[in-house]
Amino acid sequence: MDQFFRLTENGTTIRTEILAGLTTFLTMAYIVAVNPGMMAAAGIDQGAAFVATCLAAAIGSALMAFLANYPIALAPGMGLNAFFAFAVVGGMGISWQVALGAVFLSGVIFFLVSLVGFREWLINGIPLSLKLGIAAGIGLFLGLIGLKNLGLVVAHPATFVAMGPIASAPVLLGCAGFVLIAGLVARNMPGAIVIGILVTALAGIPFGLTRFTGIVSVPPSLAPTFLQMDIAGALSLGVASIVFTFFMVDLLDNAGTLIATTHRAGLMRPDGSVPRLGRALMADSGGAMIGATLGTSTTVSYIESAAGIQAGGRTGLTALTVAVLFLLALFLAPLATSIPAFATAPALIFVACLMAHSLKDLAWEDSTEYLPAILGAIAMPFTFSIATGIGLGFIAFAAIKTVAGRAGEVHGAVWLIAALSAIKFALG
């Protein structure tokens, strides 16, 4: 094991790696409660979605361990699951089978571009400001979903949105859950999000809002979702933009996470490049394809892996530990699937706040950089579409730079995405 994972070479031990894996798992274990609820909103069987979530996380993390030897764990991505459930299936009326097909195809494209130079050309060509804006925009989109699930934001015929019944028990409990999560994180408590979800759910029992059906059981059947993706439907022209959106967000999300985590672990080269980047992206794309096959939205690298890195994780043994723990979580289906929406909503809102943090790194002294990023970010929640936000952001970047006499600063990748987005908007 020492030779395979290069433990001594990376200055770590088996004990340190296992503890780091446990730390990472605790920081991202909330996904086993949140993601099945998201998938259920799209019409997917919640029990099967729970199994798919655990298996996708376990397999994806294991791929990262064995292919890239990085201490980075994978699981169905926050933001992408909301886009899948509420924008694609709920908003556009596309069946969840076709949506899973789109996720699978985006993973295939991701895998193919990971084999050729196009990957580096695309990643390096997208300016930092747009990457930061996309991350923040997905966070704002996720925050809107969380506020809606909590009941704090409701529809209104005149103002589009309004405050919900804030004095109701679910809203008050959810708000208390958010404060609890934030307070525990400030205290550097491992598993703060999981603790917040469970405490909020328990607090709902006296009000009849939470009905636990047990804690441990045999995992539910995966049959309702396994191999149910509709690839032929996803190949239709009307779904092409959805495939592209899944691909772009997956690519940008994973690239950003890999850069941030490898830098934090001291694994980045002096010139800023990431060693074994191709292998890591292959693990990510493989995780996305496997997740779609099992029945869940796009699987991505988790920024929460930084918690395990902070605890000393430096090799794939950390990711492998996370994979084993997700397999053990399969037997907690009754607990995970009985947690109500008002208990998971605080986690969504908290993660949204974390993602919005990226805006601080924008070049605020340059309006040609921050204006397109902000436009794309605010467009995502207000149009209820990540794809629209990305498209508007890229179009605005190219247009503003051109009008400012700085068209030479626009990379070919930006022109390509802007042109494709403009065509999509024109065609409706």
Predicted pLDDT at 238: 64
Alpha-carbon span 52 to 33, nearest angstrom: 12
Dihedral, CA of residue 303, residue 146, residue 386 and residue 113, to nearest 10: 30
The closest alpha carbon to 373, from 140, 143, 131, belongs to 131
Alpha-carbon span 428 to 426, nearest angstrom: 5
Which pTM was predicted? Answer: 0.72
pLDDT tens digits for the chain (428 residues)? 777 887 887 788 888 888 888 877 877 777 888 899 889 988 999 889 999 999 999 999 999 999 888 888 999 987 788 888 888 888 888 889 999 998 898 888 888 877 776 766 776 777 888 878 877 887 788 788 788 888 888 888 888 888 888 889 999 999 999 999 899 989 988 778 778 888 998 899 888 888 877 777 788 889 999 988 888 888 875 677 778 778 877 776 676 667 656 666 676 666 555 677 778 888 888 888 999 999 998 888 887 777 677 667 888 899 999 999 999 888 887 877 777 878 878 887 887 887 788 788 888 999 999 999 999 989 988 887 777 888 899 999 999 999 999 999 998 888 988 887 888 777 65
Range of the domain at 362: 2-427
CB neighbour class for 120 (10 Å; exposed up to 12, middle 13-18, buried from 19): middle
Alpha-carbon span 415 to 403, nearest angstrom: 14
CB < 8 Å & 24+ apart, contacts of 201-208? 201/338, 201/339, 201/340, 201/343, 203/173, 203/176, 203/177, 204/169, 204/170, 204/173, 204/340, 204/342, 204/343, 207/169, 207/173
Alpha-carbon span 56 to 331, nearest angstrom: 15
> CB atoms < 10 A from the CB of 345, how many?
29
What's the 3-state SS for the chain?
Answer: CHHHHCCCCCCCCHHHHHHHHHHHHHHHCCHHHHHHHHHHHCCCCHHHHHHHHHHHHHHHHHHHHHHHCCCCCEEECCCHHHHHHHHHHHHCCCCHHHHHHHHHHHHHHHHHHCCCCHHHHHHHHCCHHHHHHHHHHHHHHHHHHHHHHHCCEEEECCCEEEECCCCCHHHHHHHHHHHHHHHHHHCCCCCHHHHHHHHHHHHCCCCCCCCCCCCCCCCCCCCCCCCCCCHHHHCCHHHHHHHHHHHHHHHHHHHHHHHHHHHHCCCCCCCCCCCCHHHHHHHHHHHHHHHHHHCCCCEEECCCHHHHHHCCCCCHHHHHHHHHHHHHHHHHHHHHHCCCHHHHHHHHHHHHHHHHHHHHHCCCCCHHHHHHHHHHHHHHHHHCCHHHHHHHHHHHHHHHHHHCCCHHHCCHHHHHHHHHHHHHHHHC
- Per the CB < 8 A criterion, the answer to whether 152 and 171 are in contact is yes
Predicted pLDDT at 265: 66
Predicted pLDDT at 373: 92
| Number of domains, the chain | 1
